[in-house]
């Protein structure tokens, strides 16, 4: 990596934006408005630890765009958090929401801590104080800015945020919509936890079903039988691996921070996950071999490589050694700009993060709508649909004189549960977005890759929103 130019994460996003902007018709003033961050809130506050030590915590919230409101974006707990990273992730959220037709502006938050170094009580104090700081500056609310989980956070932290917001807004009927990714008992939606990983698989499946893309990659059509290596076994990586395996793909490699393993005949994802819970490591999993270094997993021979952890794991130092035919970005920013150029020159299909991992925000949108409507999905129509389907089955059996077997009958008669509707909406979203991006790539002369096509798609939608609002004539 000695010759690599070290652009900041946000500058990389800006470079990709500029690369795509030349394929659009918009005025430079509109493009500058879309590209820049509208609001940046940097804060610091003291916390007293259980030991009695008082520390100062640094945190951020960035609202990149207000072309649609509320703003939307996760909150991450990481010692690597800084303003540049949060600005970059907020910008990606704007483009991501636009691509998948979710009516939010992009935002992102971050608290600069290593959550492993704090007790649950201390994490609760930090989360609640951060929420209070957001409330002071009007940076949170169901119609203003709606956070969600990200790296290092989950349902527990979102429940703390909701409780703090509700306590400071008594009587606000829509307060549950101030945050998504909550426990179901607190207004969360079924299917949110696995949404990002499942969305990755839906998007990857649609790419694998595209004749032209698979011909370019030199692979057969379809996800079934594809050999996949996944870097990262957190929430996103685990569910991506699980649903890809259920779709018929073969998981040949898994990498985590403690090391990496492989088996070209396939790894059982749940068995590896259980092994890690029992031993604290994925290493020495029965029937698999350990890589000498965890980074070696990125360079293993496979059809699809899915980086599902942190930024810049594929760079100018290792991009030339990547042997996968398709790289599917489940993480945010796992490729540097230089790595992008190297992989594109090799003919590798790179499925960009800015839409592929949009499953989380898509299902967060469904959760937000549920909170505003105060009705669980499926409650109004489930029994009606079941009764209608039962009537149809009875009529078919009566007309044909044949009895439908029980398993088929149960499947046909089944009325949609909340999770069925959520997953159906997510699948529709990912398939539509994939096809739209591929169409732009195929039909716009000069566009070099799917990432540029995705940016073109996002720019056009955000710019159209501004012009239709009358902000720019």
Q: Would you please indicate which residues are annotated as catalytic (active-site) residues?
A: 108
Q: Phi/psi at 56 (nearest 5 deg)?
A: -105, 125
The two beta strands, 71-77 and 105-111, are parallel
Report the interhelical angle of 235-246 vs 269-279 (nearest 10°): 150
Segment (H or E) for 211:
helix 211-217
Calpha distance 149→360 (Å, rounded): 9
Which residue from 225, 254, 260 is spatially nearest to 238, judged by alpha carbons? Answer: 254
SS3 call for 375:
coil
Answer whether 259's CB lies under 8 Å from 285's CB. Answer: no
Report the interhelical angle of 195-208 vs 418-443 (nearest 10°): 40
Calpha distance 379→384 (Å, rounded): 10
Calpha distance 160→368 (Å, rounded): 17
- First and final C-alpha spacing in the chain: 46
Sequence-distant (6+) residues with CB within 8 A of 401 are none
SS3 call for 409:
helix
Counting DSSP H helices and E strands in the chain, the numbers are 16, 12
CA–chain centroid gap for 2, Å, is 31
Answer whether 142's CB lies under 8 Å from 70's CB. Answer: yes
Which residue from 213, 98, 212 is spatially nearest to 457, judged by alpha carbons? Answer: 98
Sequence-distant (6+) residues with CB within 8 A of 200 are 236, 240, 306, 308, 328, 330, 356, 357, 359
Answer whether 303's CB lies under 8 Å from 218's CB. Answer: no
């Amino acid at each position: 990596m000695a010759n690599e130019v070290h652009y900041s994460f946000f500058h990389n996003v800006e470079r990709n934006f500029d690369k795509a902007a030349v394929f659009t018709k918009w005025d430079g003033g509109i493009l500058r408005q879309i590209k820049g961050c509208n609001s940046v809130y940097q804060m610091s506050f003291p916390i007293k630890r259980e030991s009695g030590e008082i520390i100062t915590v640094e945190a951020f919230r960035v609202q990149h765009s207000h072309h649609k409101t509320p703003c939307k974006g996760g909150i991450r707990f990481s010692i690597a958090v800084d303003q540049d990273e949060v600005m970059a992730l907020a910008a990606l959220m704007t483009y991501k929401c636009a691509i998948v037709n979710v009516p939010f502006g992009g935002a992102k938050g971050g608290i600069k801590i290593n959550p492993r170094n704090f007790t649950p009580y201390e994490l609760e104090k930090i989360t609640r104080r951060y929420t209070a700081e957001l409330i002071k500056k009007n940076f949170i609310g169901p119609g203003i800015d709606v956070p969600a989980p990200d790296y290092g956070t989950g349902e527990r932290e979102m429940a703390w945020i909701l409780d703090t917001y509700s306590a400071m807004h008594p009587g606000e009927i829509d307060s549950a919509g101030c945050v998504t990714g909550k426990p179901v008992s607190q207004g969360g939606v079924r299917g949110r936890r696995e949404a990002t990983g499942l969305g990755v698989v839906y998007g990857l499946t649609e790419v694998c079903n595209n004749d032209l893309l698979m011909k370019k990659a030199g692979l057969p059509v379809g996800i079934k039988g594809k050999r996949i290596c996944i870097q990262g076994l957190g929430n996103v990586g685990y569910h991506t691996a699980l649903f890809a395996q259920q779709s018929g793909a073969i998981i040949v490699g898994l990498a985590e921070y403690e090391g990496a393993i492989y088996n070209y005949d396939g790894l059982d994802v749940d068995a590896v996950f259980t092994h890690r819970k029992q031993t604290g490591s994925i290493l020495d999993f029965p029937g698999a071999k350990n890589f000498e270094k965890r980074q070696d997993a990125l360079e293993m021979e496979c059809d699809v490589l899915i980086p599902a952890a942190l930024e810049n794991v594929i760079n100018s130092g290792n991009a030339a050694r990547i042997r996968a035919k398709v790289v599917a970005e489940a993480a945010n920013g796992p490729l540097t700009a230089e790595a992008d150029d190297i992989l594109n020159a090799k003919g590798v299909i790179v499925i960009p993060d800015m839409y592929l991992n949009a499953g989380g925000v898509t299902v967060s949108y469904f959760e937000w709508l549920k909170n505003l409507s105060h009705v669980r999905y499926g409650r109004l129509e489930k029994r009606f649909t079941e009764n209608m389907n039962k009537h149809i089955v009875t009529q078919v059996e009566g007309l044909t004189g044949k009895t439908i077997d029980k398993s088929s009958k149960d499947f046909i008669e089944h009325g949609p549960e909340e999770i069925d509707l959520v997953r159906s909406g997510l699948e529709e979203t990912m398939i539509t977005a994939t096809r739209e991006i591929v169409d732009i790539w195929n039909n716009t002369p000069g566009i070099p890759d799917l990432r540029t096509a995705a940016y073109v798609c996002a720019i056009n939608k955000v710019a159209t929103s501004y012009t239709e609002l009358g902000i720019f004539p």
